[in-house]
Amino acid sequence: MLKCEVIEPQTKADAAVIWLHGLGASGHDFVPVVPHLGLPENHGVRFIFPHAPEIPVTINGGMVMPAWYDILAMSLEREIDTEQIEASSAAVRELIQRELDAGIPSERIVLAGFSQGGAVVYHTALSYPKPLAGLLTMSTYFATAKEVTLSEANKALPIHIFHGSQDPMVPEVMGHTADQILQSMGFKPTYRSYPMQHEVCMDEIIDIGNSLKAWLGLD
């Protein structure tokens, strides 16, 4: 089981957000965002921020760092280790199962991910055998579009894609490509761009909060 930072709600948890960080970061990265999402005080949402394992990353000279999978080449298509992305996806499915065992219905679980974390949650959510509440992807790309086996349970999954228009690490064209691929698969993603680089901004954080409020029925 992945080690995680967990933020418990003030009231009994009846929903969960599993939120994956990017390359070289940690589960601590997005913890400070939670108070700025604009959720009601009694929201009942447990936030889970897992830490990626430390592995050698080819594009960084084989340096060992937190990563969900190895990146072999930085082309727009991104040459990656698909076995590692599947292993990370399996680890996320374990976290989902832990929430199910704790009494949270799958329909009340949102997956979110930034950059590498976004690629993992694309793979996890679209193949997950039980219906999820929604998918949030930030500054990322659909790395396993050719490999993923789509789940019938999530064919109508709400998907919101957020990307920076000035992103030098994951160019925005990769976000648009993911949007187009999803549409070709029958999904109806919502796409929004922000004037930022490979980061998050306050307008995006507000939009993430609004997504959670809509999907989880939070007033």
Report the distance separating Cα 38 and Cα 33, nearest Å: 10
Q: Which of 167, 179, 207, 211 is catalytic?
A: 167
- Beta bridge partners, 114, equal 138
147-152: long-range contacts, CB 8 A cutoff, minimum separation 24: 147/82, 147/123, 148/122, 148/123, 150/126, 150/185, 151/126, 151/127
CB 75 within 8 A of CB 89: no
The yes-or-no answer on residue 26 being catalytic is no
The yes-or-no answer on residue 127 being catalytic is no
SS3 90: helix
Q: Which two tokens stand for residue 131?
A: 């219906």
Report the distance separating Cα 93 and Cα 84, nearest Å: 14
Q: Which two tokens stand for residue 74?
A: 């930085």
Q: Which of 88, 106, 115, 211 is catalytic?
A: 115
CB 38 within 8 A of CB 210: yes
CB 119 within 8 A of CB 85: yes
The yes-or-no answer on residue 198 being catalytic is yes
The catalytic site residues sit at 115, 167, 198
